[in-house]
Amino acid sequence: MKKLFLLFLTIGVFGLSQQQAQAQELGTDYRNAIGGRFGIANGITFKHFIDNDRALDFIVNFRSKKDSYSTFRVIGLYEFHNPINNAPGLKWYYGAGGGVGVYTNKHTDNSEVALSFDGVLGLDYKFTGAPINVSLDWKPALEITPDTGFDAEGFGLSIRFAF
């Protein structure tokens, strides 16, 4: 039993060191981050760097207007990150992607598919020496279904655990 425990511990330490080495090779302060997104829509966010300046950001969020509607959406964004001179750990980013989910009308209790094209523009900061990442962004969306329209209210604050 002790040998099995030591084997799993060794594999775990090796895996974590490889992830840290990959993040350093990419030139990013972190490779992955998971946490909460707070704003008009609240939810969970997971960011994964695929290269030095490119990341995938996945958001699962919930939004509700008291007597009108509620939505549940899954959004995927492809982001380009750029450093800000003389501000270590701070980057600005932009990107685009899409969302799919469910829109529920609270008056009729009818649910429909919600599709959107999403953009993003924001600031990303990784605290030095701590596994904390914070981002503030604007995520406008062009809603395709159930109604076509432009949603410009997508401001959000994300607080993530970086690893």
Task: Sort 120 into a burial class: Cβ within 10 Å, 0-12 / 13-18 / 19+.
Answer: buried
Contact 32, 48 (CB under 8 A): yes
Contact 45, 32 (CB under 8 A): no
Task: Sort 36 into a burial class: Cβ within 10 Å, 0-12 / 13-18 / 19+.
Answer: middle
Predicted confidence (pLDDT) per residue in 23-68, tens digit: 444 456 899 999 999 998 999 999 999 998 999 999 999 999 888 8
**What global pTM score does this model have?**
0.80
- Residue ranges per structural domain of the chain: 2-162
Predicted confidence (pLDDT) per residue in 111-163, tens digit: 999 999 999 999 999 999 999 999 999 999 999 998 899 999 999 999 999 99
Q: 65-83: buried (b, 16+ CB within 10 Å) or exposed (e) per residue? A: eeeebebbbebebebebee
Predicted confidence (pLDDT) per residue in 8-33, tens digit: 444 544 444 444 444 444 456 899 99
- Distance from C-alpha of 158 to C-alpha of 36, rounded to nearest angstrom: 6
- Distance from C-alpha of 76 to C-alpha of 163, rounded to nearest angstrom: 20
CATH code at 2-162:
2.40.160.20
